[in-house]
Amino acid sequence: MIQMSRPTFGPEEESAVLAVLRSGHFAQGERVREFEQAFAMSTGAEYAVATSGGTAALFLALRGHGVGPGDEVITSPMTFIATANAIVHAGAVPVFADVDVSLGLSVPAVARLIGPRTRGVVPVRTCTAIRATSPRSSSWRPGMASRSSRTRARRWAQRLAAGRWGVTALRSTPSTRRRT
């Protein structure tokens, strides 16, 4: 087995888990509400909602942005099926845009696909095959995003925030952070 990360748990985490187990509230209990409030406060959001996973979170984000039946949402074909499933579950139709050499969505391809039924764009960064640094470099580490992918993410955010295309962007990025 290839271990992706090594979990580190100590007495504090053990106590927290035992407290939840003993409370009888495994889901949507007091600890979840405390986490949602703390997360909202730390991000400056009015609310935060804990979900069972990324697919549920993406579905809720789509619905929260008003995506529903009759809408189209542009996304990448280079992603896990859950991205398209969340779009379909929201009642919309996934529209797949071409990717560029970095395997990220091609901005010109997305622009060509935007039509009257387009309600959103879900840019996905799951593959960082093209890197600014080489694996032979001493600064390289597995999963390191390239400078160009970070620049692309900023460019997406700027264009969408400016309302250039009149659609909403929902970012679906798997966690690459590791606990140490």
Q: 128-148, pLDDT tens digit by residue?
A: 443 333 334 444 344 444 444
Nearest residue to 153 via CA among 134, 117, 125: 125
Residues 156 and 80 in one domain: yes
For 78-82, 102-106, 138-142, 166-170, which range has the lowest pLDDT when averaged over its residues?
A: 138-142
Share of the chain above pLDDT 70, in %: 69
The whole-angstrom separation of Cα 125 and Cα 149 is: 8
Report how many domains make up the chain. Answer: 2
Domain assignment of residue 132, yes or no:
yes
Q: Which domain holds residue 109?
A: 55-169
- The residues, any chain, with a CB within 8 Å of residue 171's CB and separated by 6 or more, are 122, 123, 153, 156
Asked whether residue 1 is assigned to any structural domain, the reply reads no
Q: The domain spanning residue 128 has which CATH number?
A: 3.40.640.10
Among 15, 14, 19, residue whose Cα is nearest residue 32: 19
Mean pLDDT on 153-176: 51
Euclidean distance between CA atoms 65 and 96, whole angstroms: 20
For residue 19, pLDDT beyond 50: yes
What is the separation of C-alpha 180 from the centre of its chain, rounded to a whole number of angstroms?
22
Element (H, E) at 168: strand 168-169
In a domain, 21, yes or no: yes
pLDDT beyond 60 at 7: yes
User: Could you tell me if 32 and 96 lie in one domain?
Assistant: no
What is this structure's pTM?
Answer: 0.62
